[in-house]
């Protein structure tokens, strides 16, 4: 009797190990979950051939695992399940029948590891359509199209708590759109070659966009909702604006509120890199806004916006600030403007004068870009000006002309560490002076009959890292007979 019982226990144990494996592909074992696992594709005798059939046979809490293959289906997901592909590159679902590829209408759904293609000639559907639901996660998916008429990569309508993470959208008409949706998240995603808006939110609130890259599209991120937060993003090479923050232009007009843009780069846009209109309480800080035409930023009809600690570099024109109440500094520190010729006489890296443009004023412009590496800049003399005995005269076209003794003033350092150990002054490659304390200066007296020189400064931090700035100058002495000429020029008020 005991022997029969022992044999029965052994057989029962073997059965529990073997029976579930019959539905699996023998080449790969899948980790278990709390619900049942249903399999699509592969070689298991109990596997489904269509994804929709597996979904229809699943219950809340189950996992539908899809082996690598191409599946021509339109999926309706209306149960709280996990839909898991084997591999994002090789588990492909392409739509048919002019419908959305994935239609999500249930809550608490996870979709991951799929390449999703929309294939239509009119209707303009989406790769993933999330409709009037909540708590949906899309992870590690790729969304694209096979025809130019298909619409969104991912579209969420009247939905809450939608997360799209580690996913790639390319060659779609629009990348991701959130309409009347709340508390959604886009993280670690990439949009490339999107024909219209790469990420858009409309009539909702609480969208968080973090660690995303948008390249080679028309418009990067377009915000028509309240409470939107963008951080650690790269928006590069847009044919229109990089970021839009817009209020309601339909009567009765009202402004939207509360948005922040931090630690991001917006550059190479063929319109204003950032466009803000009818949008209040915007914070923009620790960003690089660069190489855009016509401007780095446009602000109009907006209140209580704060824009500071940003690098505005090589934009074609100055910012535009119209009928807006914008603070371009926080009362202590402003922004870096690469087109400014502002001096820094005390070496604190804050300019001695304001940086102004139409109705906007930065009261504390900085001399060097923000960043974790030191910078250096010759602030006196300035390029393409004439100086007579250290006094600045008219600006020339292409030459820096120095007559008599000149005091060379250098701004060096960074607001974000490390510190400057020393600044070296060179003339024609020969070290002439070393200064170890701000403000970094050297009085250059004429001691050569040579006219054309290269003035170079090198700043070094505590770790030995160096950075340099230089300019070409024409240098002349001032004989006693020239004093009459200088006095005459001074009387004509050519100096400032």
Report the CATH number at residue 479: 2.60.40.10
Residue-wise DSSP of 373-397: S-EEEEEESPTTEEEETTEEEEE-S
Q: How confident is the model at residue 480 (pLDDT cuts 50, 70, 90)?
A: very low
Task: Indicate if the pLDDT at residue 250 is higher than 60.
Answer: no
Domain boundary pick from 362, 389, 414: 362
With b meaning 16 or more CB within 10 Å and e meaning fewer, what string describes 338-367?
eebebbbeebebbbeebbebeebbbbbbbb
SS3 content of the chain, % helix, strand, coil (to 5): 10, 50, 45
Give domain status of residue 446, yes or no.
yes
User: What average pLDDT does the structure give for the chain?
Assistant: 86
**pLDDT tops 60 at residue 9:** no
pLDDT digits (tens, 9 = 90+) for 120-165: 655 568 899 999 999 999 999 999 987 665 578 999 999 999 999 9
Spatial separation of the C-alpha atoms in residues 212 and 160, rounded to whole Å: 20
Q: What is the C-alpha separation between 176 and 157, in angstroms, rounded? A: 11
Domain total in the chain: 2
pLDDT for res 20: 39
Question: Where does 286-364 show beta strands of DSSP type E?
Answer: 288-290, 297-300, 303-308, 311-313, 320-322, 325-327, 336-337, 355-357, 360-362
Q: What is the pLDDT of residue 124?
A: 67
Q: Are 272 and 291 contacting, i.e. CB atoms less than 8 angstroms apart?
A: no
Q: Is 314 helix (H, G, I), strand (E, B) or coil?
A: coil
Round to whole Å and give the CA distance between 181 and 159.
Answer: 5
Contact 165, 141 (CB under 8 A): no
Give mean pLDDT, residues 55-70.
Answer: 97
Residue 126 in any domain: the answer is yes
pTM for the model stands at: 0.83
Residue 169 in domain = yes
> Sorting pLDDT into bands at 50, 70 and 90, what band is 16?
very low
Are 344 and 213 in the same domain? yes
CB 213 within 8 Å of CB 169? no
Report yes or no: 267 and 273 within 8 Å, Cβ to Cβ.
yes
Cα gap 121→132, rounded to integer Å: 26
Domain membership flag for residue 27 = no
The three-state secondary structure class of 179 is strand
480 against 378, higher pLDDT: 378
Domain boundary among 362, 391, 425: 362
More confident: 116 or 395? 116
The mean pLDDT of 91-114, rounded to a whole number, is 93
Percent of the chain whose pLDDT exceeds 70: 85
Cα 102 to Cα 93: distance, rounded to the nearest angstrom: 9
The 10 Å CB-count burial string (b at 16+, else e) for 132-156 is ebbebbbbbbbbbbeeeebbbbbbb
Rounded distance between C-alpha atoms, residue 364 and residue 361, angstroms: 9
Residue-level pLDDT at 34: 64
C-alpha dist (Å) from residue 172 to 145, 248, 364: 6, 26, 43
**CA dihedral in degrees (240, 243, 248, 249; nearest 10)?**
-20
Range of the domain at 413: 375-491
Contact 35, 10 (CB under 8 A): no
Please tell me the predicted confidence (pLDDT) of residue 404. Answer: 87
Domain shared by 191 and 312, yes or no? yes
**Residue 346 has what pLDDT?**
83
Three-state secondary structure call for residue 15: helix
Instruction: Answer whether 247's CB lies under 8 Å from 225's CB.
Output: no
Query: Is residue 279 within 8 Å of residue 256, measured between CB atoms?
Result: yes
Amino acid 26: pLDDT: 34
Q: Measured between alpha carbons, how far is residue 250 from residues 255, 258, 282, 347 in Å? A: 11, 20, 21, 50
Q: Comparing 485 with 275, which gets the higher pLDDT?
A: 275
Same domain for 380 and 445, yes or no, is yes
Q: Examine residue 12 and state whether it is found in any structural domain, yes or no.
A: no
Check whether 5 has a pLDDT greater than 70: no
Question: Are 326 and 299 a contacting pair, CB within 8 Å?
Answer: yes
Distance CA 333, CA 398 (A): 32
**CATH number for 181:** 2.160.20.10
Query: Which of the given ranges, 60-74, 398-412, 463-477, has the highest pLDDT on average?
Result: 60-74
| 40-54, 57-71, 139-153: range with highest mean pLDDT | 57-71
Q: Residue 101 gets which letter from DSSP? A: S
Q: CA-CA distance, 457 to 346, in Å (whole number)?
A: 18
Closest CA to 201 of 186, 182, 220, 223: 223
Question: What is the mean pLDDT of the segment spanning 177-200?
Answer: 95
CB 137 within 8 A of CB 110: yes
What is the pLDDT at residue 257? Answer: 84
Give the per-residue pLDDT at 97: 75
Other beta carbons within 10 angstroms of residue 388's beta carbon come to 21
Can you tell me which residue has the tokens 């052994």? Answer: 10
Percentage of residues in the chain having pLDDT higher than 90:
62
* Residue 182 resides in a domain: yes
Q: Based on the domain organization, do 213 and 102 belong to the same domain?
A: yes
Same domain, 414 and 333: no
What is the average per-residue pLDDT within 254-265?
89
Name the strand (E) or helix (H) holding 13.
Answer: helix 2-18
Does the pLDDT value for residue 212 go beyond 80?
Answer: yes
Calpha distance 96→98 (Å, rounded): 6
In a domain, 3, yes or no: no
Considering the domain architecture, whether residues 443 and 309 belong to the same structural domain is answered as no
**Single residue among 310, 328, 362 that ends a domain in this structure:** 362
**Same domain assignment for residues 386 and 453:** yes
State phi, psi for 437 to the nearest 5 degrees: -145, 135
Domain identity same for 290 and 338: yes
Q: Are residues 349 and 264 in the same domain?
A: yes
Q: Is residue 369 part of a domain?
A: no
């Amino acid at each position: 009797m005991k022997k029969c019982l022992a044999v029965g226990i052994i057989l029962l144990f073997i059965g529990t190990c073997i029976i579930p494996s019959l539905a699996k592909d023998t080449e790969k074992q899948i980790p278990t979950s709390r619900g049942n696992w249903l399999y699509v594709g592969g070689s298991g005798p109990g596997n489904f051939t269509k994804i929709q059939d597996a979904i229809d046979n699943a219950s809340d809490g189950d996992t539908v695992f899809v082996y690598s293959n191409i599946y021509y289906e339109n999926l309706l997901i209306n149960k709280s399940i996990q839909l898991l592909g084997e591999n994002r590159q090789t588990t492909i679902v392409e739509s048919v029948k002019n419908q959305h590829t994935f239609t999500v209408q249930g809550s608490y759904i996870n979709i991951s590891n799929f390449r999703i293609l929309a294939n239509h000639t009119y209707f303009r559907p989406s790769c993933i359509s999330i409709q009037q639901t909540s708590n949906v996660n899309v992870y590690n998916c790729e969304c694209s199209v096979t025809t130019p008429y298909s619409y969104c990569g991912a579209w969420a309508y009247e939905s809450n708590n939608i997360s799209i993470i580690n996913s790639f959208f390319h060659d779609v008409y629009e990348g991701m759109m959130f309409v009347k949706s709340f508390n959604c998240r886009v993280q670690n995603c990439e949009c490339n070659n999107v024909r219209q808006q790469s990420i858009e939110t409309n009539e909702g609130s609480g969208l968080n966009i973090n660690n995303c890259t948008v390249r080679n599209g028309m418009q990067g991120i377009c915000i028509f909702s309240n409470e939107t937060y963008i951080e650690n993003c790269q928006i590069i090479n847009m044919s229109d604006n990089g970021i839009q923050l817009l209020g309601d232009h339909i009567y009765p007009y009202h402004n939207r509120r509360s948005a922040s843009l931090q630690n991001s780069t917006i550059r190479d846009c063929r319109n204003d890199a950032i466009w803000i209109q009818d949008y209040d309480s915007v914070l923009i800080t620790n960003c690089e806004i660069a190489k855009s035409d016509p401007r780095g930023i446009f602000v109009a009809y907006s209140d209580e916006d704060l824009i500071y600690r940003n690098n505005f570099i090589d934009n074609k024109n100055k910012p535009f600030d119209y009928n807006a109440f914008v603070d371009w500094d926080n009362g202590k520190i402003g922004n870096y403007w690469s087109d400014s010729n502002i001096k820094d006489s005390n070496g604190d890296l804050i300019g001695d004068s304001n940086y102004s443009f139409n109705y906007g004023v930065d009261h504390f412009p900085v001399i060097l870009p923000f960043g974790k590496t030191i910078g250096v800049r010759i602030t006196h003399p300035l390029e393409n000006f004439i100086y007579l005995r250290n006094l600045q005269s008219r600006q020339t076209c292409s030459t820096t002309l120095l007559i008599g003794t000149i005091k060379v003033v250098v701004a060096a350092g960074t607001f974000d560490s490390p510190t400057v150990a020393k600044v070296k002054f060179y003339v024609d490659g020969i070290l002439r002076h070393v200064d170890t304390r701000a403000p970094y200066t050297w009085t250059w007296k004429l001691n050569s009959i040579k006219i054309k020189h290269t003035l170079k400064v090198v700043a070094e931090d505590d770790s030995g890292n160096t950075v340099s700035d230089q300019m070409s100058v024409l240098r002349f002495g001032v004989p006693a007979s020239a004093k009459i000429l200088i006095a005459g020029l001074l009387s004509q008020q050519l100096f400032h």
